[in-house]
Structure 1
Amino acid sequence: MRVSASVTQDLGMPAIYLHILAELLRTIGLDERDLLLRVGLDPARLQSTSVRVSQAQASEFVTRAIIESGEPGLGIMLARELKLPLHGALGVAVMSSRTLKDALGLMTRYLTLRAPHLSVRSREHGNAVHYTILCDGDPGPLQGFIMDAMLFGCAFMGEQLTGTAIGGSGILRKGAEPPYFHRFRQSILMPVSYNSQENALVIPLNALSAPIRFSDDQLAESSRAQCEEALKQLTEDAGFACRVRRVIETSYPFPPKLARVAATLFVSERTLKRRLQEEQASFQNLVDQVRLERARELLTGTNINLNQVADVLGYADAANFTRAFKRWTGVSPSHYRGAEQQSAATFLRARMPAPA
């Protein structure tokens, strides 16, 4: 079974992966915050599990990270850090599967959610199943990083799922063994064969029935339904306006200038405006949508004052922010914050047990 997404759609990459990579860079002495800002990404926004980063910005960040860190094995290092819960609903669905075969089937079906530029094709070969990783388009110099992160990530996750190394399994890699690989070989508890015809995870047929130690049928069903809904939403959000919005959501400084967003997406300002008009959208409306969402988050999730909220959202002062918020919602930021706090307090009181 194969699920693919064209690179031209740019469905984005989950921001949390870049956050984990940035944390890794810090451990090896690189100023990860400076690197993110130079790419135009807001470090604070990358910690959200619901935010996606444009593939153009993600590729630029990873490329610079490899060059400036001088560590070509970053893909393997990232793979070791990708614990299952970081993969959102897909991670939960995989963890709650009954068997390793079920878990790999979910990865094959829903990989687009986590890595839109990758797809999986499974086939039986002798006494094993080959899960071949295919890359849509040519990622150029990032090919090695991508395959390292994906295939070694699968190996590490297999151990997480079953609690032990999967006997008889292995990894196939195209091309010659890179010079850096010997430094990581001992941490990978399965054979790795280079100069192969494919990039694949090889699992013996008799190992596919291995039980998952976190199996939960009810959770598996609900999380799979979430994956289906997320996949539907992601493919519906493949338009140009969604690509522009992703750049706006993660940009630093905020809000970004139209010229910066156009350059990130490799189009002219005129083309960006035209393509948005074709989808009945405008750059300013997209900025305002993101501003409103972030304003609500700040008003309900923090105690910072209105001047600080205004500053985060790119307004000159609290008065300008207040006028804009009232135009969007019909109420002032202070009124909105008070109403939300009162609603939360009422909800909590209703859930408190009655006094004995």
Structure 2
Amino acid sequence: MRIAASIAQDLGMPAIYLHILAELLNTIGLDERDLLLRVGLDPVQLKSADLRVSQAQASEFVTRAIIESREPGLGIMLASKLKLPLHGVLGVAVMSSRTLQDALDLMTRYLTLRAPHLSVSRRECGTDIHYTIRSDGEPGPLQKLVMDAMLFGCAFMGQQLTGTTAKGSRILRKGPEPAYFYRFRQSIVMPVNYDAQVDALVIPVAALSAPIRFSDDQLAESSRVQCENALEQLTADAGFECRVRRVIETSYPFPPKLARVAATLFVSERTLKRRLQEENASFQSLVDQVRLDRARELLTGTGMNLNRIADVLGYADAANFTRAFKRWTGSSPSYYRVAAA
């Protein structure tokens, strides 16, 4: 089963969110590992704070998760699990802000880092500020889950930041109230109004000056700069080569076959090769780059022997791995491990 996904500009989805969702599925009795493997995702790699999953694979995983768990409210459940540190450098920047308004301004500018197909606009409406969330992605289970996780997550995170929920705050949702929502209403920390014209977080102007409990001016400035750099890098990484690499990085089994990657990205093998060639890259060179990065991590960060590392990287034996590593770096894996110690 393949789920249609927008591939015009696939900036990927942070892998850590799918890892948290997988853990959530486990708590409700679903075999999350089996589900991930069927979609071609490596459960171990999803724990990384730095990797991103292709939109196509994220969409397929989420769609299967909703169908097989029979739980349409997974996005709301996920929202309650998303603690601020899980949002990477943006989470750090938000946590170290001075006021709630500063935190929301950061979210408005840098949301693309965490949810590429969502955008936020700020509008003053009487004594309230409306932070309206819009999606430019294709409608479907993934976008619905992301929108739920984003809006309801903001409610939970606001409570984390200030220690309380601002009086008068509320969430607006487009469309009629889902039949299942009654099961979650009591757990949402602010009122939720359906049948609205937009999806939005509404905060009273007076509440925006509320101080953040973890405020740290120095950390706030350094993390804001990191957000700016990360946003610039993410935009620069919008090319086809980066999209292919993302699939390779999170694929199971590893390394993936060219045919599997092409199918994931909804292109033919010939088109994949041609488009990579246009960007002066090749499929095998990308596989080797990922292998080298992963080899270095395993050699310096684990006590795995060379046979085990070779197996993880998809080599028949340690000898083949050693030859490849020498070709890439000029030194043996054993020498590299000792030198890095």
TM-score (norm 2): 0.97
Show the counterpart of 1:350.
none
Show the counterpart of 2:249.
249
Q: In 2, Cα distance between the equivalents of 1:95 and 1:276?
A: 40
State whether structure 2 residue 191 is matched by structure 1 residue 194.
Answer: no
Matches within 5 A, 1:148-163: 148-163=148-163
Show the counterpart of 1:316.
316
**Cα shift at 1:139:** 2.3
Deviations 1:13-55 (A, max 9, x none): 1100000000000000000000000000000000010111111
Q: In 1, Cα distance between the equivalents of 2:292 and 2:141?
A: 38
**Cα shift at 1:147:** 1.9
Show the counterpart of 2:95.
95
* Aligned Cα root-mean-square deviation (Å): 0.9
Q: In 1, Cα distance between the equivalents of 2:29 and 2:186?
A: 24
Letter in 1 for 2:122: S
Show the counterpart of 2:105.
105
Show the counterpart of 2:10.
10
Q: In 2, Cα distance between the equivalents of 1:9 and 1:175?
A: 27
Show the counterpart of 1:336.
336
**Cα shift at 1:189:** 1.7
Deviations 1:332-355 (A, max 9, x none): 0000001111xxxxxxxxxxxxxx
Show the counterpart of 1:305.
305
Show the counterpart of 1:211.
211
Letter in 1 for 2:62: V
Letter in 1 for 2:212: I
Matched residue of 2:150: which SS? helix
Structure 1 runs (4+) greater than 6 angstroms displaced: none
Letter in 1 for 2:105: G
Matched residue of 1:193: which SS? strand
Tell me, yes or no, if the aligned pair for 1:7 and 1:137 is still in contact at 8 Å.
no
**Cα shift at 1:141:** 3.6
Show the counterpart of 1:286.
286
Matched residue of 1:111: which SS? helix
Matches within 5 A, 1:253-272: 253-272=253-272
Q: In 2, Cα distance between the equivalents of 1:143 and 1:35?
A: 19
- Relative to structure 1, the CA distance from residue 142 to residue 13 in structure 2 (aligned partners, 3 Å threshold; closer, same or farther) is closer
State whether structure 2 residue 189 is matched by structure 1 residue 169.
Answer: no
**Cα shift at 1:65:** 0.4
**Cα shift at 1:8:** 1.6
Q: In 2, Cα distance between the equivalents of 1:290 and 1:259?
A: 18
Count the aligned residue pairs.
336
Q: In 2, Cα distance between the equivalents of 1:182 and 1:309?
A: 49
Show the counterpart of 1:66.
66
Matches within 5 A, 1:218-233: 218-233=218-233
Q: In 2, Cα distance between the equivalents of 1:7 and 1:152?
A: 27
Q: In 2, Cα distance between the equivalents of 1:92 and 1:164?
A: 19
Tell me, yes or no, if the aligned pair for 1:7 and 1:117 is still in contact at 8 Å.
no
Show the counterpart of 1:22.
22
Letter in 1 for 2:197: Q
Q: In 1, Cα distance between the equivalents of 2:298 and 2:18?
A: 23
Deviations 1:94-138 (A, max 9, x none): 000000000000000000100101110111111111111110132
Matched residue of 2:309: which SS? helix
- Relative to structure 1, the CA distance from residue 301 to residue 143 in structure 2 (aligned partners, 3 Å threshold; closer, same or farther) is closer
Q: In 1, Cα distance between the equivalents of 2:116 and 2:70?
A: 27
Further displaced range: 39-48 or 135-144: 135-144
Q: In 2, Cα distance between the equivalents of 1:99 and 1:310?
A: 50
Deviations 1:206-247 (A, max 9, x none): 111111111000000010011011111111111000000000
Q: In 2, Cα distance between the equivalents of 1:141 and 1:222?
A: 36
- Relative to structure 1, the CA distance from residue 98 to residue 337 in structure 2 (aligned partners, 3 Å threshold; closer, same or farther) is same
Unaligned runs of 5+ in 1: 1-5, 342-356
Q: In 2, Cα distance between the equivalents of 1:144 and 1:313?
A: 35
Q: Which has the larger Rg?
A: 1
Q: In 1, Cα distance between the equivalents of 2:81 and 2:91?
A: 14
Identity fraction in percent: 82
Matched residue of 2:180: which SS? helix
Unaligned runs of 5+ in 2: 1-5
Tell me, yes or no, if the aligned pair for 1:310 and 1:316 is still in contact at 8 Å.
yes
Tell me, yes or no, if the aligned pair for 1:75 and 1:145 is still in contact at 8 Å.
yes
